[in-house]
Copies of this chain bind each other. A is one copy, B any other.
Amino acid sequence: MKVLITGGAGFLGQRLARKLLERGILAGPDGKPQPISQLVLLDVAAAPDMGDARVCVHTGDISQRDVLEAAIDSDTYAIFHLAAIVSGQAEADFELGMRINFDASRLLLDICRARGHRPRVVFASSVAVYGGTLPDVVGDDTALNPQSSYGTQKAMTELMVCDYARRGFIEGRAVRLPTISVRPGRPNAAASSFASGIVREPLAGVETICPVEPRTRLWLLSPRAAIDALIGVYELEQRAFGDRPVLNLPGLSVSVEEMVDALREVAGDAIVSRIIWRRDERIERIVASWPGRCDASRAESLGLRGDRTFADVIRAYLHDDARRV
């Protein structure tokens, strides 16, 4: 059985790839575990060599039909659709966001449909689909009112995934990823970039700007838990979702201040002093439109789990990813 990861050169894509290769199996069309014979990593930049004969690197723009057609054949059953233009960039470049976050997703679904074997698609959506006046605790059944083009494009794609699944074109499910923290690597154009930066950069001996107020509340998920959740959601049978194949994942509700306290607990005052507080209204506006706490009881009842504490998340980051100072 072939597996495709779009955004396969990205941070989550790479991490998911490593986990899948280690695991070696995934549920097949009959629901039973099947060996992964090939893992296609598709991205606009070439994914690094993983030293595994099962990996096949494809490079190209996923909004191009021939690129997606080359990556999806009738043996491709498992598809993790992670590729996206991040929130800040989709807000700055409307056309690019629509083309990659929406049009490419539609093309992917259409090619899956045309192949005719009902591939199982996990679509990585985001809590950015929420926005506006929100209840204190946001649920799977809270209305979507995105206040960013990124959130709009993710919400539109969720709707398509649900309709394609309902019609039997695919086995489809969307997960609303919390903000992933701590991401390794460099800051990016996501409005949420600081949610990793305020931990990662100080730990690496680098000063970093926190553009939001300490009381800002975030809904977070660690990379480890995110990968487990993506695979967990993949493994669920379609009927487990009832008539709504969209899930909020379990996460941690923490304020930025609590994140900093956890960093102090794990790494001490000197590290924390590398955070410079300088508000950025553009980022604050986007981040404030996202939920700070979700009710993920539906996901939990389906066996999905989040993180325990943010201090644990930092420790896992230090173990898995940190550049040492």
Contacts and interface: CB of A to CB of B under 8 A. Distances in A.
Given A155-B159, A163-B152, A147 B94 contact: no
A209 interface: no
A167 interface: yes
A40 to B, nearest CB: 27
A167 to B, nearest CB: 7
A145 B94 contact: no
Contacts of A145: 162, 243-244
Interface stretch (A43-51, A135-143, A198-206, A257-265): A135-143
A160 B167 contact: no
A285 to B, nearest CB: 11
Nearest to A156: B156
Nearest to A95: B110
A133 interface: yes
A132 B162 CA distance: 12
A152 B109 CA distance: 15
Given A132-B243, A133-B243, A163-B152, A144 B146 contact: no
Number of copies: 2
Q: How large is the interface on A (under 10, 10 to 19, 20 to 34, 35 or more residues)?
A: 20 to 34
A179 B242 CA distance: 26
A143 B146 contact: no
A131 interface: yes
A149 interface: yes
Contacts of A160: 152, 156
Contacts of A15: none
A132 B242 CA distance: 9
Contacts of A140: 143
B152 A159 contact: yes
A160 B156 CA distance: 8
Interface string A218-251: 0000000000000000000000001110000000
A166 interface: yes
Given A149-B167, A156-B156, 13 more contacts: A132-B242, A132-B243, A140-B143, A142-B143, A143-B144, A144-B144, A145-B244, A146-B162, A147-B166, A147-B243, A152-B159, A152-B163, A155-B159
30 contacts: A94-B167, A131-B243, A132-B243, A133-B243, A140-B143, A141-B142, A141-B143, A142-B143, A143-B143, A143-B144, A144-B144, A144-B159, A145-B162, A145-B243, A145-B244, A146-B159, A146-B162, A146-B163, A147-B166, A149-B163, A149-B167, A152-B159, A152-B160, A152-B162, A152-B163, A155-B159, A156-B156, A156-B159, A156-B160, A159-B159
Interface of A: 94, 131-133, 140-147, 149, 152, 155-156, 159-160, 162-163, 166-167, 242-244
